[in-house]
Amino acid sequence: MSPLWLRMDRPRYVVALCCLLFIGTNFVNKYVLSVLQFTYPTIFQGWQTLVGAIVLRILISTGTMEPLLSDIHRVELGLWLPGMIMFVTSIYSASKALAALPIPVFISLQNIVLVFRSTATIAITGKWTGGFVYAMLMLIIISSVAIAKTDPQFNQDAYFWMCVHIVSNGLHQIYSRLVSGKLKLSSHEKLYSSYIYSIIVLAPSSYFLGDALEASKFPLLFFAKFYMGCILSGVFGIFLSLSFIYLQDSTDVVHVDADMVEGVAKIMTSILSLLVFQIPLTGNHAIWLVVNHLCALACSESPTDNRPEFPFVQSEASTESHDSLKYLKRDELQQDMIRVDVIS
């Protein structure tokens, strides 16, 4: 049962919604973390996941979504526990990195996760990527290193947390693929359980790490723009995740590639961020950013299944791995549709 707000006649509406939510999520997060300088990730990410969990409960209560985790055995959640741990690590480190890195740099370096996905595909299916895709993946790695080297405002701590985010997100993708045949949780249930686990972990961590005490001294604590930014970050984030899950799962939009949509959204976000935020750029730095984005966009046309699990972490991001049989059926459906020339 797809959410009512996503039941649209044409795929382009869903694609446009994904792009708008991707831009809005990254802009709001950057605004709170950098402009307002609320750099307390345990509280900020805990708040985001709390808002997301509340939104999911509202959608379930109103009948927009089916009940989640109602018939799931504890063994299933135990098997998904490593995924939840990597999810929390990913969003925490992403918050630390985005607070100091410009948006174009942040979302460009996230493209390294494509290398993890391709590695997982090769290891699990034994299917080697084509020479073109392999070259693009290598260029993503090279351009990512060049981006760091040419960054006019290089921040060692920010790049460290970015590395943690990339590794944890990449391992999350690999683990998701490994357990896709054994785990009975749906994409929405994985998302919901990860949100609940994040709240349980991040709430006490805010006290143990001192973020709660420091946040109580935040100068904008009683300003409406601060609360509006925090609420929008959570709302945009959860609807971005739901939109990408719908885009990946629904046979109504089977001919729309989620990675392609994410790649286009990243390019749009990077360009628009130059107009909204003050981002220092040099010629070499800008060239490597462009190369990175174009290579990632080219990889989205790979015949292998490189689809994100939680794109909002987020990218999400992003980004949702699915059952391998479901992918096979969707690929077969795509081929049948091509044969009869009915793809719009």
pLDDT for position 334? 41
In a domain, 165, yes or no: yes
Highest mean pLDDT among 4-18, 87-101, 126-140, 172-186: 87-101
Segment 276-292 shows an average pLDDT of 92
pLDDT for position 10? 56
3-state secondary structure 39-105: CCHHHHHHHHHHHHHHHHHHHHHCCCCCCCCCCCCHHHHHHHHHHHHHHHHHHHHHHHHHCCCCHHH
Query: How many CB atoms within 10 Å of residue 75?
Result: 9
Segment 208-231 shows an average pLDDT of 88
In a domain, 12, yes or no: yes
Task: Please indicate whether residue 218 or residue 125 has the higher confidence score (pLDDT).
Answer: 218
Q: List pLDDT tens digits, range 21-57.
A: 999 999 999 999 999 989 899 999 999 999 999 999 9
Q: Would residue 319 be called left, alpha or beta, if left means φ above 0 and alpha means ψ between -120 and 50 degrees?
A: left
Find the range with the poorest average confidence among 218-222, 249-253, 324-328.
324-328
Q: pLDDT-derived band of residue 72, with 50, 70 and 90 as boundaries? A: confident
Q: List pLDDT tens digits, range 99-154.
A: 999 999 999 999 999 888 888 777 777 777 778 888 999 999 999 999 999 999 89
pLDDT for position 84? 94
Residue 191 makes CB contacts below 8 A (sequence gap 6+) with 56, 241, 242, 245, 310, 320
SS3 content of the chain, % helix, strand, coil (to 5): 70, 0, 25
Mean pLDDT of the chain: 81
In a domain, 184, yes or no: yes
pLDDT for position 197? 94
Q: pLDDT-derived band of residue 292, with 50, 70 and 90 as boundaries? A: very high
Number of structural domains in the chain? 1
Segment 205-222 shows an average pLDDT of 87
- How far apart CA 252 and CA 208 sit, in angstroms, is 47
Beta bridge partners, 319, equal: 310
In a domain, 38, yes or no: yes
Q: List pLDDT tens digits, range 168-183.
A: 999 998 888 888 778 8
Helix (H) / strand (E) element for 122: namely helix 113-125
Q: Residues of the chain with pLDDT > 90: what percent?
A: 45
What the block records as the tokens of 336 is 């049948």
Range of the domain at 22: 4-339
In a domain, 144, yes or no: yes
pLDDT for position 65? 84
The candidate with the shortest Cα–Cα distance to 41, out of 107, 83, 93, 105, is: 93
pLDDT for position 319? 39
Q: pLDDT-derived band of residue 256, with 50, 70 and 90 as boundaries? A: low
In a domain, 61, yes or no: yes
In a domain, 344, yes or no: no
CA 324 to chain centre: 20
In a domain, 78, yes or no: yes
Task: State if pTM tops 0.85.
Answer: no
pLDDT at 337 over 60: no
pLDDT for position 335? 41
